[in-house]
Structure 1
């Protein structure tokens, strides 16, 4: 099994956020690469998330998770997966609105973001179906219910 180093940057207060060991375990579980790598997980407030979402995606609102895969310059080989930016207030609000436990929703956001770093996407229906199936499988291995099934998520509360 390849190892994943997770560097966590706390750019804001995030009450209810899981601890570093859990964040690392979730990211490691979602690392499907054959080689060891490294990811930076930055926890941000709504303003920073909105600024990044606007700058890189043209959407002027905060979002739950942004993924920035590392693209090495030609001829450079570095074992960096990239950066994940998770907006703590959005995760908290979504968990409340979707009647999910904070713990389960944080796990989902880490897994979801890690899959994006590895090229998975949900732009079209086929890709979305494949990505969601993998998320469900990985989260089940971590002891969480289906994040797309409200009844399953209540069990995680």
Structure 2
């Protein structure tokens, strides 16, 4: 899916961030399961804990940094744009989680990008049934990449 456009924004200084090619691959894998989805452009911004905490507090009422925030784009009435939305990923939180969960940083990043992209497409995990459907999609997408079930205990 070469028509995917990812605006990769980096607001942290670390060489271990996913590459542009990785981001496009992971987003493409999600969108390949949604062939009728016309929106093919998104921003993925890598931030520090301060920026993550500020956004999480302002938009979700949770005053702490978090791994990934998803901001779906809503087209103004009468205007159709190919924008899916924005993902804001806190590098420090993702790095800490990967270490704590004994995962490679690359595998955890793949999960966070896939998880966030599914949110941009309208998936959620507030109710148990929704959570199971979303998590199964994540498991299937990650398995296709050779990545173990992130929810296995």
Partners of 1:2 and 1:18 in 2: how far apart?
A: 18
Say which of 35, 49, 53 aligns to 2:52: 49
Aligned to 2:83: 80
Deviations for 1:58-92, whole angstroms, at most 9, x for unmatched residues? Answer: 00000000000000111011010000000000000
Shift, 1:132, TM fit: 0.2
Q: Are 2:127 and 1:124 aligned?
A: yes
The correspondence of residues 1-157 of structure 1 with structure 2, limited to 5 A, is: 3-31=3-31, 32-34=34-36, 35-150=38-153
In structure 2, the gaps of 5 or more residues are: none
Mean Cα displacement is larger for which, 120-129 or 137-146? 137-146
Instruction: Count the aligned residue pairs.
Output: 150
Shift, 1:12, TM fit: 1.1
1:14, 1:89 within 8 Å by CA — same for their partners in 2? Answer: no
Secondary structure at the residue paired with 2:85? strand
Mean Cα displacement is larger for which, 27-36 or 116-125? 27-36
In the superposition, the TM-score normalised over structure 1's length comes to 0.91
RMSD: 1.4
Cα separation, partners in 2 of 1:63 and 1:49, compared to 1, 3 Å? same
In structure 1, the gaps of 5 or more residues are: 151-157
Deviations for 1:113-153, whole angstroms, at most 9, x for unmatched residues? Answer: 00000000000100000000000001111221111125xxx
